Amino acid sequence: MKLLRYGARGAEKPGMLDAKGQLRDLSAHIPDLAGAVLSDLSRLKEIDPESLPLVGGSPRIGACIGNVGKFLCIGLNYSDHAAEAGLRVPREPVLFAKYTSAICGPDDPILIPRGSEKTDWEVELGFVIGKPGKYIAEADALSHIAGYFVANDVSERNFQTERSGQWSKGKGCDNFGPIGPWLVTPDEVPDPNNLQMWLKVNDQLMQNGTTANMVFKVPFLVAYLSQFFTLHPGDVVITGTPPGVGMGMTPPRFLKAGDRVSLGIDGLGEQHQLCENDA
């Protein structure tokens, strides 16, 4: 299934795509794609999408998950990206967090913060926890995932690495966490560790990679994270980016107002964002 949320920001409704790619309203069956609903999406498979109300027009597509709990991020998870950053491949996953106020829809604008000099892009595979757990065995890890999605880990490199403290100040700005367009259930993603991914800026291909090159694979990440804290339904994890980010170019290239960013992952949909200066 391809599930999504649509409507004005803060008032999104749950939806489902039918076989023709048309948006259908799910709000008579679930209140939102959030929380406990994510722990058992299997019952939605019993619904005939054609029986659901067709949503007309072109509504805004919101973040594919509502009421996110933890927004967990893995850094330097592609060896070739670590190399372009001038850093070694870590022995254990690099863990940081985005703030939930960074979450936005897949086509909402990228807001370039005041004082930004180095706003950058990162296409990433994301997943959301459905079944809660702690100390999860790697062999059982995939059963805890409710679905997968596309993410852009927008990053301000000056805030992140040159202004002291943790990475999060350069990772958690408003609209730095577009997720979606769809939450794709695991039955449609037979191997999350073998997905093509890409990102373009102003139609120029910048990133062209595959999740097959992740250092730490999805099952390991679920098990690893659960050793430190309980994973709850609605917790999201984004898993790192392949090479081709702006800071790795010679000379470095960063986003400015008016730039257009497009990105996607095979089977998980695409995002399209216009860069704007934050007010």
| Domain contains 57 | no
pLDDT at 164: 75
Distance from the first to the final alpha carbon of the chain: 38
SS3 167: helix
pLDDT exceeds cutoff 80 at 195: yes
pLDDT at 171: 93
| Residues ≥6 apart with Cβ < 8 Å to 186 | 142, 145, 146, 147, 148
SS3 200: strand
Give the chain's length: 279
**Structure confidence by residue, pLDDT tens digits, 85-143:** 777 788 999 999 999 999 999 999 999 999 999 999 999 999 999 999 999 999 999 99
pLDDT at 146: 98
The mean of the pLDDT values for the chain is 95
CATH code, domain carrying 188: 3.90.850.10
pLDDT exceeds cutoff 90 at 82: no
Q: What's the pLDDT band for 6 if we cut at 50, 70, 90?
A: very high
The answer to whether the beta carbons of residues 216 and 74 sit under 8 Å apart is yes
| Domain contains 157 | yes
**Structure confidence by residue, pLDDT tens digits, 206-248:** 999 999 999 999 999 999 999 999 999 999 999 999 999 999 9
**Structural domain harbouring 116:** 62-277
pLDDT at 159: 87
| Domain contains 101 | yes
The one-character DSSP state at 56 is P
pLDDT exceeds cutoff 80 at 77: yes
| Domain contains 223 | yes
Q: Among residues of the chain, what percentage have pLDDT more than 70?
A: 100
Q: Which residues of 104-130 are buried (b: 16+ CB within 10 A; e: fewer)?
A: bbbbbbbbbbeebebbbbbbbbbbbbb
pLDDT exceeds cutoff 90 at 203: yes
pLDDT at 279: 83
d(CA 5, CA 1): 13
| Domain contains 18 | no
| Domain contains 45 | no
CA 39 from chain centre, in angstroms, equals: 19
Query: How much is the average pLDDT of 18-47?
Result: 95
Question: How many C-beta atoms surround the C-beta of residue 261 within 10 A?
Answer: 22
d(CA 68, CA 75): 20
Nearest to 16 by CA among 6, 7, 25, 8: 25
Concatenate the DSSP letters of all residues of 127-143 into one string.
Answer: EEE-S-BSS--GGGGGG
The answer to whether the beta carbons of residues 256 and 276 sit under 8 Å apart is no
**Which residues is 147 bridged to in the sheet?**
128
Counting the structural domains of the chain, the total is 1
In the chain, count of helices (H) and strands (E)?
3, 18
Q: Among residues of the chain, what percentage have pLDDT more than 90?
A: 89
| Domain contains 7 | no
